Amino acid sequence: MTPAKPAAPAPLAPGLASGIDQRTLIRLKRGQVRPETQIDLHRLTQPEAHAALAGFLTSAQRGGRRCVLVITGKGYGSEGAIGVLRRNVPRWLNESPNRERVLAFAYATPLDGGEGALYVLLRRIR
């Protein structure tokens, strides 16, 4: 008999999370959990940005980082109302193996880029 696989984590949405206390989530949304490092995905193609994000999250988590800033840009000049990266990064954060690393994410405050950036709270490595 093989052991059962752990259930996949529930999908995340900006500003919503399970598995962390409400106070921490509010602090994240208010920008009170300061990012320790950041990645700027501007000017990257979708495949380049997708790969860069995965590598960045892995590296940040292994480096003991707790909160990171992911800059997507707002997508001005893009076809459609929302930029491609701004639309896809939340989806990529929910994909494996990224989802297993991420506790929560929220749009940044205007000081850190507003809706053109995301605060991402990473799980601690045990």
Q: What is the pTM of this model?
A: 0.86
Cβ neighbour number for residue 78 with a 10 Å cutoff: 14
CA distance 116 to 126: 31
Residue boundaries of the structural domains of the chain: 22-121
Give domain 22-121's CATH architecture.
2-Layer Sandwich (3.30)
Predicted confidence (pLDDT) per residue in 5-54, tens digit: 555 566 666 666 767 889 999 999 999 999 999 999 998 999 999 999 99
